[in-house]
């Protein structure tokens, strides 16, 4: 599948704007100095050969996933995926808890859902300039396990994936995860056309 550099740049810019906006919101929310960066964005077809190693991303046995599913002009899901242990560290750093907890209890899950939701909502909000109508959303959900086995993220239908490596910098620590857009081919075609149109004509 051929995807032009302009489209990849457009997608990267929209994700970066959304992530940047969410960093500001997380700073206000937590009073922790958080910097979020997106060093890499890749677009690829999801098929049987789409394995984490082929994508050059980590696939720990246990990862924490916050997933927002949507339908309408775009149909698919957007997830924040962080290795389980890193997710606990992230929550602990953001909340300023003492000690070094080793498990994700109910309160930490709730906190991670909110942080994930801030990032996902900001990115979705950033992408909404490409839309002419409102999307329908499900509530964000939290899942654990291997993300490639999560049916909410990956399923058997041919789809398109946008993977954005995401780094959190908090108090001299760096926590890496990624944002994963999983959308139908039709949704991506529409997204592609709109990006090219905006680039040509302006907003």
Partner 1 sequence: MTSDYASIISQSLNALPVGICIIREDHTISFWNRTIETWTGITPAEAEGQILEDIVPEFGVHHEKSRLKVVFKGGGPVILSSRFHPRIFPLRENVQNEGKYQRITISPFILPDEGAQAIITIEDVTAITEQVFRYRMMKNQIAFELEEKKMTERALEMALSKLNNLSSITRHDLINNLTIFEGYLSIALNLELGGKIQTYLEKMKDSALAMRRHITFARDYQEMGNAVPTWYHVESLVKNSGIGPIFRDITIETNTGNLEILADPLIVKAIYNLLENAVRHGKHTTHIMVTSIRSPDSVTIVLEDNGVGVPSEIKGRIFNKGFGSNTGLGLFLTREILGITGMQIIETGTPGNGARFEIRVPAGHFRYPEEE
**Which residues contribute to the site for partner 1 (CB under 8 A)?**
25, 28-30, 68, 70, 95, 99, 101, 105-107, 110-111, 113-114, 117-118, 120-122, 124-125, 127-128, 131, 134-140
CB of 119 to partner 1, least distance (A): 10
CA 134 to chain CA centroid, Å, is 20
Identify the burial level of 92 via C-beta atoms within 10 angstroms of its C-beta, where 0-12 means exposed, 13-18 middle and 19 or more buried. Answer: middle
C-beta closer to partner 1: residue 139 or 156: 139
Cβ(76)–Cβ(181) under 8 Å? yes
C-beta closer to partner 1: residue 136 or 171: 136
- Please tell me the distance from the alpha carbon of residue 203 to that of residue 192, in angstroms, as a whole number: 15
Rg of the chain, C-alpha, whole Å: 17
CB of 73 to partner 1, least distance (A): 10
For residue 104, give every residue at least 6 positions away whose Cβ sits within 8 Å of its Cβ, in sequence order, or none: 64, 84, 87, 88, 91, 112, 144
CB of 4 to partner 1, least distance (A): 25
C-beta closer to partner 1: residue 57 or 74: 74
Identify the burial level of 33 via C-beta atoms within 10 angstroms of its C-beta, where 0-12 means exposed, 13-18 middle and 19 or more buried. Answer: exposed
CB of 28 to partner 1, least distance (A): 4
Identify the burial level of 114 via C-beta atoms within 10 angstroms of its C-beta, where 0-12 means exposed, 13-18 middle and 19 or more buried. Answer: middle
C-beta closer to partner 1: residue 3 or 131: 131
CB of 2 to partner 1, least distance (A): 29
CB of 47 to partner 1, least distance (A): 27
C-beta closer to partner 1: residue 131 or 148: 131
C-beta closer to partner 1: residue 5 or 139: 139
- Please tell me the distance from the alpha carbon of residue 55 to that of residue 53, in angstroms, as a whole number: 5
Q: What is the longest distance spanned by two Cα atoms in the chain?
A: 54
């Amino acid at each position: 599948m051929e995807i032009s550099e302009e489209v990849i740049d457009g997608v990267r810019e929209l994700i970066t704007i959304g992530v940047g906006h969410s960093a500001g919101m997380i700073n206000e929310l937590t009073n922790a100095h958080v910097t979020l960066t997106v060093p890499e964005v890749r677009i690829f077809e999801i098929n049987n050969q789409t394995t984490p190693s082929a994508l050059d991303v980590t696939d720990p046995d246990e990862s924490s996933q916050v997933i927002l599913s949507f339908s309408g002009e775009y149909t698919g899901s957007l997830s924040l995926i962080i290795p389980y242990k890193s997710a606990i560290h992230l929550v602990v750093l953001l909340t300023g808890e003492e000690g070094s907890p080793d498990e994700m209890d109910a309160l930490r899950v709730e906190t991670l859902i909110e942080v994930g939701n801030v990032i996902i909502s900001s990115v979705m909000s950033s992408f909404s300039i490409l839309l002419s109508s409102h999307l329908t959303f499900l509530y964000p959900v939290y899942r654990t396990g291997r993300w490639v086995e999560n049916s909410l993220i990956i399923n058997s239908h041919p789809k398109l994936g946008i993977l954005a490596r995401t780094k959190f910098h908090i108090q001299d620590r760096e926590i890496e995860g990624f944002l994963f857009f999983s959308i139908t081919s039709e949704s991506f075609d529409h997204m592609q056309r709109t990006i090219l149109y905006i680039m040509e004509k302006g907003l």
